[in-house]
Structure 1
Amino acid sequence: MTTIAAPEAPVAPAVPVAPARVRLGAFTAESTFIARSFRHSVRDIDAMLMAVLLPTMLMLMFTFIFGNAIDPSGGYVDYVVPGIILLCAGFGASSTAISVSRDMTTGIIDRFRTMPLRSGAVLTGHVVASLARNLVATGVVIAVALLVGFRPVATPLEWIALVALVALYILAITYLFAAIGLAASSPEAASGYGFILLFLPYLSSAFVPVETMPEWLQWVAENQPITPVVETIRGLLMHTPVGDQGWWALGWCAGIIAVSVVWGAWLFRRRAGRR
């Protein structure tokens, strides 16, 4: 007798399960982009050399060509070095605008936005790498200044305060340049906008006393961020009167950082399509 097998029940098609979204640990993205920016800095030897050579050449020019005309006593190098320190920081930070703009225009951000990354991680990598690079460049410039006759009278505690203030200034101007790199339409435009900011030290007390300027320019020099930072650095190094310039320097740096961080985060979300 033939047995008829019962038909098998139809098998339901497998429902694809979406992969779980990877959650990164705290500061994992930031540390990754910091390492990436450091690798780029090490490879970009030309940018590092320019960040050191340009301020050093300007210091030598002001000291040996213009110095005797400005201060025949030969002490102009002690006056000009604080301004050169800030100029060095500006030259080094300006490359951040170009690097950020390059990231935004080469398509790599399109890859980043598909990953579970915080929008500020890319900028943090650029800023931290620039801070370290510029502190090294500033140290080299100070060493060269000592070789050409710079004689600071700062105590060890004042040197620590100096390094902290310079680091805060570098952080502020680097965040500002990073935001400019986001706002610029191309790396070339970012370089041009950054170059304009590099003129600010010349409109301050970095190279000549404010009172020697025309009256209309004195107001500009006294009410811009570079002058209080320069005067505070000069006071720490040479024990010149500082007054309330130190508080103004801290306030300017904190304000620039706050505005640049907010502006940069908004620009990054807008350009990278992040929410």
Structure 2
Amino acid sequence: MSAVTDPTRTEGVRPTRQVLALARSESTLLLRNKTALFTATLIPLMLVALLGVLPSALSGPPLAMSMVIGSVLLLVLYYSLVTSTVARREEHTLKRLYSSAVRPAAIMIGMALPLLILVAVQVIIGLIAVAIVMGLDSAPHTWLLLPAVIAGCAVWWVLALASCPFTKSVEAAQLTTMPLIMVALGLSGMTVPIGILPGWLQWAAQLSPMFPTIDLAFVALSATRVTGEAVGGSQLWLAVLLDLGVAAGWVLAGLWLLRRRFGWEPRR
């Protein structure tokens, strides 16, 4: 096996080089799946094209970008990372990496890095498509899309790895990932308006893992939270800090579960 496809040959090198070696190996596998890569790249374009033909009252840049970001986080990062990690665990690849000189953190980051780059590319494609189809002239805080995507990537990267101990096989990932995907779709404002939910559920929705990302995307492009609340000045910064705090809470919870439950050997 060549050095490119054998990330275990990293003895004596720095963690950064270990991460890059693993990422290069994962990228090679990802690029070989031309169909999946092509389909994934089309996700933002298809969503923007679909929303672009709907009445403006039913769509618009905030909803379009939130759906682009949310869908790529769920499908490209979360689900794909769960299935790829479980597959490598069952093939004893994770066990070989863990018993080598590669640090556990480098393994986890290296496996996700190509998917994180793909998410970034898709978000950029989606943003360009939204600007062309719908326009972004009135977007007040476009820069907030950056922390929105970073926070979303951090949350769903950790949650993907934390879901692996509960996933016995690649096929089982369709079931084990469903609860978080359904929560993300139903309680983030991405597909179901937060305003139609009961009061207590609206409050709970703001603590769900996808809500911070979708909320920041709405504030970035409309100065209005996904809950419908207009924000500006100190209220804007308070909303941003609250969203980032919720995202940080999910990252910490995922890391705690990861340390306690993540397994490097195949499930018996």
Q: Give the TM-score range, shorter chain.
A: 0.7 to 0.9
CA distance in 1 between partners of 2:39 and 2:181 (Å): 14
The residue aligned with 1:246 is 240
Q: Alignment identity in percent?
A: 20
Gaps of 5+ in 1: 1-21
Matched, 1:261 2:255: yes
Q: 2:152 aligns with which of 169, 175, 178?
A: 169
Gaps of 5+ in 2: 1-10, 225-229
Q: In structure 1, the residue corresponding to 2:264 is in which secondary structure?
A: helix
Matched, 1:120 2:114: no
CA distance in 2 between partners of 1:249 and 1:257 (Å): 13
Q: 1:164 to 1:44 in 2, by over 3 A?
A: farther
Q: Summarize deviations over 1:112-156 as a string: whole Å, max 9, x none.
A: 24322222222111222221110101112222223332435346x
CA distance in 1 between partners of 2:259 and 2:21 (Å): 18
Please report how far the alpha carbon of residue 185 of structure 1 lies from its aligned counterpart in structure 2 after TM superposition: 0.8
Q: Which amino acid aligns with 1:185?
A: K
Q: In structure 1, the residue corresponding to 2:168 is in which secondary structure?
A: coil
Q: In structure 1, the residue corresponding to 2:134 is in which secondary structure?
A: coil
Q: How large is the Cα RMSD of the aligned pairs?
A: 2.8
The residue aligned with 1:102 is 87
**Cα contact 2:86–2:167 (8 A) shared by 1:** yes
CA distance in 1 between partners of 2:46 and 2:15 (Å): 43
**Cα contact 2:116–2:153 (8 A) shared by 1:** yes
Matched, 1:235 2:223: no
CA distance in 1 between partners of 2:137 and 2:246 (Å): 25
The residue aligned with 2:264 is 271
Query: Size of the alignment, in residue pairs?
Result: 243
Matched, 1:90 2:74: yes
Q: Summarize deviations over 1:45-99 as a string: whole Å, max 9, x none.
A: 33333334345444544553xx43xxxx556223412321222222211211111
CA distance in 2 between partners of 1:112 and 1:228 (Å): 34
Q: 1:117 to 1:104 in 2, by over 3 A?
A: same
CA distance in 2 between partners of 1:61 and 1:216 (Å): 32
CA distance in 1 between partners of 2:36 and 2:164 (Å): 16
CA distance in 2 between partners of 1:111 and 1:228 (Å): 37
Q: 1:159 aligns with which of 119, 142, 161?
A: 142
Q: 1:172 to 1:218 in 2, by over 3 A?
A: closer
Instruction: Provide the TM-score with structure 1 as the length reference.
Output: 0.75
The residue aligned with 2:3 is none
Decide which moves more: 205-214 or 129-138: 205-214
**Cα contact 2:44–2:126 (8 A) shared by 1:** yes
Counterparts of 1:1-80 in structure 2 under 5 Å?
A: 23-64=12-53, 67-68=54-55, 73-74=56-57, 76-80=59-63
Q: In structure 2, the residue corresponding to 1:153 is in which secondary structure?
A: coil
CA distance in 2 between partners of 1:226 and 1:183 (Å): 20
Q: 1:145 to 1:178 in 2, by over 3 A?
A: same
**Cα contact 1:205–1:230 (8 A) shared by 2:** yes
**Cα contact 2:66–2:190 (8 A) shared by 1:** yes
Q: 2:126 aligns with which of 141, 147, 150?
A: 141
The residue aligned with 2:6 is none
Instruction: Provide the TM-score with structure 2 as the length reference.
Output: 0.77
Q: Summarize deviations over 1:172-194 as a string: whole Å, max 9, x none.
A: 21221122134311112223322
The residue aligned with 1:212 is 196
Q: 1:227 to 1:152 in 2, by over 3 A?
A: farther
Q: Which amino acid aligns with 2:115?
A: S
CA distance in 1 between partners of 2:142 and 2:117 (Å): 17
Q: In structure 2, the residue corresponding to 1:188 is in which secondary structure?
A: coil
Q: Which amino acid aligns with 1:140?
A: I
The residue aligned with 2:179 is 196
